[in-house]
Amino acid sequence: MEPSTVRSEATGTPAVAPSAPETEPGTAPAGGGLAGRPAAGLVASLLVAVVAFQLGASMVTPALPAMAATLGVGADDVAGVSSYFFLAGAVAGVVLSRWSDYVGRRRILLATLLVMVGGTVVCLLATSLPLLLAGRVMQGTSSAVFQISYIILAERLSPRVFGTALGVVTAINGGVGGVDGFVGGLLTDHFGYRSIFVAILAVGLLALVFVLRVVPRGERPADTGTMDWWGAAALSITIVCLTQAVDAGSASGWASPRTLGLLAATALAAAGFWAVERRRRTPLFPLRHLRSREVWPLVATTMLTLTGVFAVINFTVVVLSQDTAAGYGMSASLSALAFLAPPALIGLFAGPVAGWLAGRRGWVAVLRWGLVLCLAVLVVIALMPTHRWVVLGGIACLGVAYNGLFMATANGLGVLQSPPDAPGALPGLNSSAFGIGAGLGIGLVAPFVAQGTVGGYATALWVSAGITALALGTSLLLVPRPAAMPGAQA
């Protein structure tokens, strides 16, 4: 690095050292970001982009039986419509966010939306399952819009509005008000499952227009090196093998030959990634940062929290509520409205508040507050799983603690804690931790839930609570990056 320049910890972009005013740790340089109407326009355009992805994630689920019937395949086969979508997102989040360091955020964001729109057209016109799965993989790559949007917000907005804006965008990650899945079911019932892809296509095209018109152009690359495609390939293989191992462990058992083979492949791919990164001048993720307490505790906390909490909201309680023997005997639609919609809807309001609070009280501190509340709620639910009103109230509280406090701060810290020489690296890696943790959590508790007994459900809930306690423990090891913006201090 030339002596006349320094790299901003907040954005990773070059800044002239002599004229830059000094700032205290945990703040950003004053007067360098958007505010007011320009900031609102930028947030709105990014919000449409993330909604386009979220609709592809949630509206399709109620239509899976209709897809299977129309295409003449079994329920097991059509499950790939969702699993391949999220797997593609886990890989794309890592690779595309880092690639944006070299070619620019706006360019990658536009390319990602174009691929998503193309994939939606493929899904709309698909007459066979392989074509539908190909389209879903293309759609899934749009998961990267979340990570890229977070980085754009950090680089473009003033510290005063960054936290609130990030909370607004993050809130969509829990669902569009909890009604997107319900609307997907209505469209399927009245117009067929292809109507869902028409709706997604319309929002995707609108997102392209917004990004083209609003997101600033002329940005400088955050890194002057070259993209580490060998490292990207090795890490992608690691993520794919690990994700498939989790699925195999849940379906066939953790000691099955297929699961053990996939776990071995995961270890080999991870070792290959480590070997590649040690030899690269501009690695996908600088290994010295991966060993830092500014990085690895965040990734571990994210994965453990998703392993613990996600399975409770999206699996254990849903199955419990529909169980006619040991549970509440609800229908699928009533269960969704009672236990899935409330936390998503509450998260829409809690996310922006959590971001605002984190900017003033400290991102790491608010993350820990969210985890303490999550753990307390899970303990109460585990103690009284047969009391539906207690469980319903607990799930609503998780809308604040998990969808609000945790999701906003975990995603914000993915940007704020990212190494200054690789600002796009940690957001992508943290995103993969979300996906891996979600799958791992369901895989771990599925054998207990499958027992269909009160004791089985209680055991599953206690397992989730224990893992969440581990997440709280790793969060205590997280050290804030001293010059992170804004207000990342504990």
**Residue 16 forms beta bridges with which residues?**
5
Say whether pLDDT at 472 is over 90.
Answer: yes
Please tell me the predicted confidence (pLDDT) of residue 264.
Answer: 95
Angle at 40 between CA 342 and CA 97, to 5 degrees: 75
Dihedral sign from CA coordinates of 253, 462, 472, 366: positive
Q: Quote the DSSP letter at residue 418.
A: S
Calculate the CA 317 to chain-centre distance.
Answer: 21
DSSP string, 57-87: HHSSGGGHHHHHHHHT--HHHHTHHHHHHHH
Does position 20 have pLDDT exceeding 50, yes or no?
Answer: no
**pLDDT tier at 85, thresholds 50, 70, 90:** confident
pLDDT band at 178 (very low <50, low <70, confident <90, very high): low
pLDDT at 177: 57
Buried residues in 331-346 as b, exposed as e (16+ CB within 10 A): eeeebbbbbbbbbbbb
Instruction: Average the pLDDT over 90-119 and give the result.
Output: 91
3-state secondary structure of 34: strand
Q: Which two tokens stand for residue 28?
A: 């950003």
pLDDT at 450 over 90: no
Q: Which residues pair with 122 in a beta bridge?
A: none
467 or 163: which carries more pLDDT confidence? 467
Q: What is the pLDDT of residues 404-438, one digit of tens each?
A: 999 999 988 988 888 887 788 888 888 888 878 87
Q: Please give the pLDDT value at position 478.
A: 94
Amino acid 2: pLDDT: 35
Q: Are 124 and 201 contacting, i.e. CB atoms less than 8 angstroms apart?
A: yes
Distance CA 313, CA 171 (A): 16
Angle at 235 between CA 231 and CA 237, to 5 degrees: 120
DSSP-assigned letters across all residues of 283-299: -SS-HHHHTSTTTHHHH
pLDDT of residue 265: 95
Report the pLDDT value the prediction gives residue 234, as an integer from 0 to 100.
Answer: 92
The partner residues of 34 in beta bridges, in order of sequence, read: 157
What pLDDT sits at residue 465?
96
Q: Please tell me the predicted confidence (pLDDT) of residue 76.
A: 65
| Structure confidence at residue 93 (pLDDT) | 85
Tell me if the bond preceding 486 is cis, omega within 30° of 0: yes
pLDDT class for 217, splitting at 50, 70, 90? Answer: confident
Residue 487 pLDDT greater than 60, yes or no: no
Q: Which two tokens stand for residue 340?
A: 């899935």
CA distance 131 to 215: 33
pLDDT at 223: 64
The DSSP 8-state label assigned to residue 480 in this structure reads -
pLDDT at 483 over 80: no
List the alpha helices (DSSP H) in 286-362. 287-290, 296-305, 311, 317-322, 332-335, 341-361
Note the pLDDT tens digit of each residue in 230-267. Answer: 989 998 999 889 888 877 877 777 788 998 999 999 99
Is CATH 3.90.1150.10 the classification given to domain 288-483+486-490? no
User: In this predicted structure, what is the pLDDT of residue 370?
Assistant: 96
pLDDT-wise least confident of 58-72, 215-229, 396-410, 453-467: 215-229
Model pLDDT, residue 386 = 92
Q: Chain-centre distance of CA 309, in angstroms?
A: 14
Q: Tens digits of per-residue pLDDT, 25-70? A: 333 333 346 767 888 888 889 999 999 998 988 788 778 778 888 8
More confident residue, 490 or 80: 80
pLDDT of 154: 84
Given a contact cutoff of 8 angstroms between Cβ atoms, the answer to whether 142 and 53 are in contact is yes
* Residue 18 pLDDT > 90: no
pLDDT at 379 over 90: yes
106-123: per-residue pLDDT in tens?
999 999 999 999 999 999
pLDDT interval class at 75 (50, 70, 90):
low
Looking at every residue in the chain, the average pLDDT score rounds to 83
pLDDT at 468 over 90: yes
**Candidates 3.90.1280.10, 3.90.226.10, 1.10.540.10, 1.20.1250.20; correct CATH number of 35-217?**
1.20.1250.20
C-beta separation of 485 from 162 below 8 A: yes
Percent of the chain exceeding pLDDT 70 equals 88
Provide φ and ψ at 20, rounded to 5°.
-80, 130
Nearest to 117 by CA among 56, 168, 71: 56
C-alpha 329/C-alpha 321 separation (Å) is 6
Q: Judge whether residue 6 has pLDDT over 60.
A: no
Choose between 297 and 66: higher pLDDT. 297
| 245, two tokens | 């191992």
| pLDDT surpasses 70 at 12 | no
Q: What is the pLDDT of residue 377?
A: 97
Examine the pLDDT at 153 and tell me if it is beyond 70. yes
Is the pLDDT at 192 greater than 90, yes or no? no
CA–CA distance, 26 with 20 (Å, rounded to integer):
16
